[in-house]
């Protein structure tokens, strides 16, 4: 099984690129949303450590954002409960898809949380900063302070670029991007099957 990890900054279009591979995809952000929505045990743990902020189940994203805004240490508290669940879900995703030729990991902190392996194919998604800002402003709950705090948890982009096997320029139309990723996927499959 070839593991493809998608890297890039917040708002660079990692999820868009990940989906274009049309392969089994582990989307960590989607997993977190699902945990907030369905995991009562997680809610109880978060409510216990942040009773002032986490009050409703399913957990509202606005409550999480409020908690982080008030005190950036709350981000670490939340992560310490949510990340192990995401890890467990990732493990079962990998087990379920172990016979597949290629799988895609869209995990924002793939490198930071040491979830990558030595022989993973890492792809860095590069996007112009004005495009990124435009995209982020469209998101609900856009808050620059929260964004800066999340970025502080990320490894420097220059390091991620260095670690990457490929860099994908995501400044083209969706149609062109589709073709580019299809080509790249074939290239990875060919390279790995011949090595």
SS (H, E, C) 7-56: ECCCCCCHHHHHHHCCCCEEEHHHHHHHHHHHCHHHHHHHHHHCCCCCCC
Whole-number average pLDDT of the chain: 90
Quick check: 136 pLDDT over 80? no
- For residue 5, the model assigns a pLDDT of 97
1-24+99-195: CATH architecture: 3-Layer(aba) Sandwich (3.40)
CB 70 within 8 A of CB 57: no
The SS3 of residue 98 is: coil
- For residue 34, the model assigns a pLDDT of 96
Structure tokens at 147: 């964004």
pLDDT per residue as tens digits for the range 150-178: 666 666 788 889 999 999 999 999 999 99
Q: Taking the complete model, does pTM exceed 0.85, yes or no?
A: yes
- For residue 64, the model assigns a pLDDT of 92
Structure tokens at 172: 């083209």
Structure tokens at 184: 């790249």
- For residue 134, the model assigns a pLDDT of 76
């Amino acid at each position: 099984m070839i593991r493809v990890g998608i890297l890039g900054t917040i708002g660079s279009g990692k999820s868009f690129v990940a989906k274009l591979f049309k392969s089994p995809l582990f989307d960590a952000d989607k997993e977190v949303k699902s945990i907030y929505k369905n995991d009562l045990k997680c809610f109880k743990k978060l409510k216990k450590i942040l009773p002032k902020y986490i009050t409703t189940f399913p957990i509202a994203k606005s409550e999480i954002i409020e908690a982080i805004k008030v005190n950036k240490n709350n981000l670490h508290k939340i992560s310490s409960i949510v990340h192990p669940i995401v890890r467990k879900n990732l493990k079962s995703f990998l087990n379920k898809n172990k016979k597949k030729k290629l799988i895609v990991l869209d995990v924002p902190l793939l490198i930071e949380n040491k979830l990558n392996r030595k022989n993973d194919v890492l792809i860095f998604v590069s996007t112009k900063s004005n495009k990124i800002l435009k995209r982020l402003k469209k998101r609900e709950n856009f808050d620059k302070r929260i964004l800066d705090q999340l970025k502080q948890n990320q490894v420097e982009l220059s390091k991620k670029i260095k670690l990457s096997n490929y860099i994908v320029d995501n400044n083209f139309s969706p149609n062109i991007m589709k073709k580019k990723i299809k080509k790249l996927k074939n290239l990875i499959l060919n390279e790995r099957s011949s090595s």
